[in-house]
Amino acid sequence: MANVNAPNGFVPLRHLTGGVIRANEYAIANSYAANLASGDLVTLAAGGTVERGTAGGTALGVFYGVEYIDNDTGDVKFSKVWNTGTTAKANEPIKAYVYDDPNITYAVQVNGTFANTAVGALANVMLQLERIIQHMDIQLMNWIIQLLQQLQKF
């Protein structure tokens, strides 16, 4: 049976030390105008808020979801997606939940041929529309670079 082409971004699998997988809280600017979906890599912007990752950037971690107060109803909402045009109440915090622990391992769909010898390894990632995927943090980024150098030898 063929594998299903259904990318979900980075999906947390386990914690390397046996710990609990937890998302930490960061802010999203009320005026932030880009879509974020659970599994997307995010960065920390100069102002201290979370933004969608970009090619060549340094990732803070993996976006899990967002909590905000709806501007129209005043209800507290949680969503695994932040859509452009979401109307959050002004002057109230928008909380992004981000998996930022470098000890979390993830499952992610690959594009193209994948050798059994590469199971458990890190590899280059591809940027696509709403699924922006990039490096995890400085320490992990260095590891990815080393792995890519090794993979180029094959």
Mind spelling out the 3-state secondary structure of the chain? Answer: CCCCCCCCCCEEEEECCCCCCCCEEEECCCCCCCCEECCCEEEECCCCEEEECCCCCCCCEEEEEEEEEECCCCCEEEECEECCCCCECCCCCCEEEEECCCCEEEECCCCCCCCHHHCCCCCCCCCECCECCCCCCHHHHHHHHHHHHHHCCC
Structure tokens, 101? 């622990």
Asked if residue 46 is part of any domain, the answer here is yes
With respect to residue 6, please indicate whether it lies within any of the assigned structural domains. no
* Alpha-carbon Rg for the chain in angstroms: 17
For residue range 34-86, list pLDDT tens digits in order: 999 999 999 998 888 999 988 777 788 999 999 999 999 999 999 999 988 88
> Is residue 4 a part of any domain in this protein?
no
Tell me how far the alpha carbon of residue 79 is from its chain's centroid: 15
Residue 136 belongs to a domain: yes
Lowest mean pLDDT among 93-97, 118-122, 145-149: 145-149
Cβ neighbours of residue 1 closer than 8 Å, sequence gap 6 or more? none
Tell me which residue range forms the domain holding 41: 11-151
Domain total in the chain: 1
* pLDDT-based confidence at residue 31 (cuts at 50, 70, 90): confident
- Cβ neighbours of residue 106 under 8 Å, at least 6 residues apart? 10, 11, 12, 13, 62
User: Is residue 82 in a domain?
Assistant: yes
pTM value?
Answer: 0.72
116 token code pair: 């059994």
Give the largest CA-CA distance in the chain: 57
Report the mean per-residue pLDDT for the chain: 78
User: Is 95 within the bounds of a domain?
Assistant: yes
Q: How far apart, in Å, do the first and last CA atoms of the chain sit?
A: 28
Residue 98 lies in a domain: yes
Is residue 109 in some structural domain? yes
Q: Which residue has the tokens 């971690």?
A: 61
pLDDT at 131: 34
